[in-house]
């Protein structure tokens, strides 16, 4: 049976609780134990797929096509394992199951209530995941902040689990903000104290406290947190801001967290080998060169919307000793003429056309693509990025002036990007895109084929409803914009412009498979092109 480490958050959200949970999971894994991680999102949506990135940040796509919370991405990157849609549990998911069971008659005669029916289902779903992975330890991060109404059933389920399994099998970690008031220069522990009080009111006494602050925790602050939080100072860990998130597990380990976790969970302590991470952080912090990359999208005000892409650029960059500096280009500002892409194109080393949905910002992206293409700036288009590279090429090279994707203009005379045939008749929006890992056949001798080192078939993750219309392919190919990867249904998955050093678009999302210690070949090839390194 698995042991559990619950990670809750206090004071406010956006504290990097996901990174803390991922770090804890990594430290336990590094002792040689098998670990999986679950993210609980107390919102009523069944999954993250129907939310705007501005609400939520990126939707992270798993191998099995789950549209999940971005913390699942952190877990995959820290643990270097593939998780599934089951690793993300939401209120919507739990209630759907409970209501379905009620309708089926599973609870006949009973009044179905939050306690015990909903809390039982929460525990059951958590245990199913632990069983599926056969994990020694399952880290369960409860999203939101202690005190949120939505989170209560999940905290109650966690409390019950501790009662049923005992403290050696269920450990509570609380992550809090300890703000520093700049005029006083002092770390203030009061909000953290209140948040721990709130937890205790629910029946949970944290075993471990992780304090997020701009500067390291002082002894005085630690003393107060210990006294008012009712836990020993040795169980309080300082997690100040760092430049690279992979430094977090190293800092927590250096303060003795791994030993405390082993002791609390009654697991034999094994000194972990964290040297690959030490090396990564070292390399990240000491780049040999820097490149400037324009990031063209329409959710640029919340860069978490593109978290995995940012990560993937850093992973590949770090492996090559290159630090990418990201220049955010808001597509709607391009449309308004507020930003000058011409100027940007002469000051950047490359550009990424980011994924997206819908009409807003599209013409801005298309304009930017034209300028980058004409200036010969290395360009990587991801999903919608590729689709708009195709629209731009159709309009400006093939002369099909009103060419478009039918997502934006359903009546275009030249639907160069069109709804996937498998999507026709799909009305339900949740979880119905072409999702998850799908094989892509590479065309020998193309750039894509060389990027993947001559492998013939690769598997990458997808999330889209539209595809490049094969009817126009011969015209594209005659003009040097060729298909270099094909999906099982026969439509293009990768296209590249022959005449350019690097002008490549992918229908899939290579960012979801990039890991710090195992970067994505596509991003690595892109960074190499930016610094003029040969592919191999």
Determine, following the binding rule CB under 6 A, whether residue 247 of this chain makes contact with ligand GLN: no
Both structure tokens of 483: 């298909």
Determine, following the binding rule CB under 6 A, whether residue 60 of this chain makes contact with ligand GLN: no
Exactly one of 6, 384, 472, 502 binds ligand GLN (CB under 6 A); that residue is 384
Nearest residue (CB) to ligand GLN, 225 versus 309: 309
Determine, following the binding rule CB under 6 A, whether residue 463 of this chain makes contact with ligand GLN: yes
Determine, following the binding rule CB under 6 A, whether residue 259 of this chain makes contact with ligand GLN: no
Owner of token pair 């219309």? 469
| Active-site residue, from 76, 141, 407, 511 | 511
Determine, following the binding rule CB under 6 A, whether residue 512 of this chain makes contact with ligand GLN: no
C-alpha 514/C-alpha 309 separation (Å) is 9
| Active-site residue, from 117, 174, 404, 509 | 509
Minimum CB–partner distance for residue 59 and ligand GLN (Å): 9
* Binding region for ligand GLN (CB under 6 A) out of 239-247, 265-273, 303-311, 354-362: 354-362
- What is the number of H-type helices and E-type strands within the chain? 19, 23
Size of the site for ligand GLN (CB under 6 A): 11
Nearest residue (CB) to ligand GLN, 465 versus 501: 465
Nearest residue (CB) to ligand GLN, 126 versus 394: 394
Q: Do the beta carbons of residue 22 and residue 74 sit within 8 Å?
A: yes
Nearest residue (CB) to ligand GLN, 211 versus 506: 506
**Residues 308-347, mask of contacts with ligand GLN (x by CB under 6 A):** ----------------------------------------
Nearest residue (CB) to ligand GLN, 395 versus 434: 434
Q: Do the beta carbons of residue 221 and residue 189 sit within 8 Å?
A: yes
Minimum CB–partner distance for residue 407 and ligand GLN (Å): 5
Minimum CB–partner distance for residue 51 and ligand GLN (Å): 14
Nearest residue (CB) to ligand GLN, 467 versus 484: 467
386, burial (CB in 10 Å: exposed 0-12, middle 13-18, buried 19+): buried
Nearest residue (CB) to ligand GLN, 174 versus 461: 461
Q: What is the DSSP string of 226-287?
A: HHHHTS-GGGEEEEE--SSGGGHHHHHHHTTHHHHHHHHTT--------HHHHHHHHHHHS-
Exactly one of 383, 390, 400, 529 binds ligand GLN (CB under 6 A); that residue is 383
Exactly one of 49, 57, 355, 492 binds ligand GLN (CB under 6 A); that residue is 355
Determine, following the binding rule CB under 6 A, whether residue 381 of this chain makes contact with ligand GLN: no
Which one, of 48, 42, 1, 6, lies nearest residue 25 by Cα? Answer: 6
Determine, following the binding rule CB under 6 A, whether residue 365 of this chain makes contact with ligand GLN: no
Residues in contact with 436: Cβ distance below 8 Å, sequence separation at least 6, in sequence order: 61, 62, 63, 64, 65, 66, 461, 462
Residues in contact with 508: Cβ distance below 8 Å, sequence separation at least 6, in sequence order: 383, 438, 440, 460, 461, 462, 493
Determine, following the binding rule CB under 6 A, whether residue 179 of this chain makes contact with ligand GLN: no
Q: Do the beta carbons of residue 359 and residue 349 sit within 8 Å?
A: no
Determine, following the binding rule CB under 6 A, whether residue 508 of this chain makes contact with ligand GLN: no
Residues in contact with 285: Cβ distance below 8 Å, sequence separation at least 6, in sequence order: 243, 244
Q: Do the beta carbons of residue 207 and residue 264 sit within 8 Å?
A: yes
* Binding region for ligand GLN (CB under 6 A) out of 165-173, 324-332, 463-471, 480-488: 463-471
Nearest residue (CB) to ligand GLN, 370 versus 465: 465
Q: Do the beta carbons of residue 86 and residue 39 sit within 8 Å?
A: no
C-alpha 334/C-alpha 364 separation (Å) is 5
CA distance readout (Å), 27 to 44, 137, 139, 192: 32, 11, 11, 25
Both structure tokens of 511: 């960012």
Whether 383 is catalytic is yes
| Active-site residue, from 58, 383, 392, 407 | 383
Exactly one of 360, 370, 465, 515 binds ligand GLN (CB under 6 A); that residue is 465
Exactly one of 193, 357, 479, 491 binds ligand GLN (CB under 6 A); that residue is 357
Q: Do the beta carbons of residue 161 and residue 170 sit within 8 Å?
A: yes
Burial 407-435 (b: 16+ CB within 10 A, else e): bbbeebebbbbbbbeeeeeeeeeeeebbb
Which one, of 401, 402, 400, lies nearest residue 410 by Cα? Answer: 402
Q: At 108, phi and psi to the nearest 5?
A: -45, 130
Find the binding residues for ligand GLN in span 403-442 (CB under 6 A).
407
Determine, following the binding rule CB under 6 A, whether residue 466 of this chain makes contact with ligand GLN: yes
Nearest residue (CB) to ligand GLN, 371 versus 506: 506
* Binding region for ligand GLN (CB under 6 A) out of 223-231, 269-277, 340-348, 458-466: 458-466
* Binding region for ligand GLN (CB under 6 A) out of 85-93, 133-141, 283-291, 355-363: 355-363
Whether 74 is catalytic is no
Whether 464 is catalytic is no
Decide the pairing of beta strands 67-68 and 137-142: unpaired
Both structure tokens of 204: 């949970």
* Binding region for ligand GLN (CB under 6 A) out of 149-157, 353-361, 389-397, 449-457: 353-361
Determine, following the binding rule CB under 6 A, whether residue 493 of this chain makes contact with ligand GLN: no
Decide the pairing of beta strands 379-382 and 350-353: parallel
Minimum CB–partner distance for residue 423 and ligand GLN (Å): 9
Using CB under 6 A as the criterion, which residues of the chain lie in contact with ligand GLN when the complex forms? 355-357, 383-384, 387, 407, 463-466
Among all residues, which ones are annotated catalytic?
Answer: 383, 509, 511
């Amino acid at each position: 049976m698995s042991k559990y480490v619950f990670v809750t958050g206090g004071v406010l959200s956006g504290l990097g609780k996901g990174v803390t949970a991922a770090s804890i999971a990594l430290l336990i894994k590094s002792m040689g134990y098998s670990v999986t991680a679950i993210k609980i999102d107390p919102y009523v949506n069944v999954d993250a797929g129907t939310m705007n990135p501005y609400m939520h940040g990126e939707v992270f796509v798993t191998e099995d096509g789950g549209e999940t919370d971005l913390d699942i991405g952190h877990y995959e990157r820290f643990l270097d394992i593939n998780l599934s849609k089951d690793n993300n549990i939401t209120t919507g998911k739990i209630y759907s199951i409970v209501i379905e069971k009620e309708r089926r008659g599973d609870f006949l005669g009973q009044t179905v209530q939050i306690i015990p029916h909903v809390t039982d289902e929460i525990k059951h779903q958590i245990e199913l995941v632990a069983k599926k992975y056969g994990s020694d330890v399952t880290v369960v991060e409860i999203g939101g902040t202690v005190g949120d109404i939505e989170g209560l059933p999940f905290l109650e389920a966690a409390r019950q689990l501790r009662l049923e399994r005992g403290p050696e099998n269920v450990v509570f970690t609380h992550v809090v903000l300890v703000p520093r008031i700049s005029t006083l220069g002092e770390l203030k522990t009061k909000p953290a104290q209140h948040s721990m009080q709130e937890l205790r009111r629910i029946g949970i006494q944290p075993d471990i406290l992780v304090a997020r602050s701009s500067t390291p925790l002082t002894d005085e602050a630690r003393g107060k947190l210990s006294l008012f939080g009712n836990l020993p100072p040795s169980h309080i860990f300082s997690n100040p801001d760092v430049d690279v998130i992979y430094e977090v597990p190293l800092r927590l380990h250096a303060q003795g967290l791994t030993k405390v976790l082993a002791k609390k969970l009654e697991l034999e302590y094994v000194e972990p080998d964290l040297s690959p991470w030490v090396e990564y952080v070292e390399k990240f912090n000491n780049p040999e060169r820097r490149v400037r990359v324009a990031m063209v999208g329409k959710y640029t005000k919340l860069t978490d919307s593109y978290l995995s892409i940012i990560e993937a650029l850093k992973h590949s960059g770090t492996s090559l000793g290159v630090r990418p500096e990201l220049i955010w280009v808001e597509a709607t500002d391009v449309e308004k003429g507020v930003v000058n892409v011409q100027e940007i194109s002469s000051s950047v080393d490359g550009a990424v056309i980011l994924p997206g949905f819908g009409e807003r910002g599209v013409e801005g992206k298309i304009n930017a693509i034209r300028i980058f293409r004409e200036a010969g700036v290395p360009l990587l288009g991801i999903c919608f990025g590729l689709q708009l590279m195709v629209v731009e090429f159709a309009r400006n090279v093939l002369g099909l002036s009103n060419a478009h994707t039918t997502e934006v203009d359903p009546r275009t005379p030249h639907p160069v990007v069109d709804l996937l045939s498998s999507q026709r008749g799909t009305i339900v929006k949740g979880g119905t895109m072409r999702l998850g890992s799908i094989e892509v056949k590479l065309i020998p001798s193309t750039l894509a084929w060389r990027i993947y080192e001559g492998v013939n078939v690769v598997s990458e993750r997808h999330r889209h409803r539209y595809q490049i219309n094969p009817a126009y392919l011969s015209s594209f190919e005659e003009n040097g914009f060729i298909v270099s990867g094909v999906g099982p249904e026969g439509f293009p998955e990768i296209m590249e412009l022959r005449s350019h050093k690097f002008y490549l678009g992918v229908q899939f999302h290579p960012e979801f498979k990039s890991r710090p210690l195992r970067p994505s070949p596509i991003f690595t090839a892109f960074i190499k092109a930016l610094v003029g390194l040969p592919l191999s």
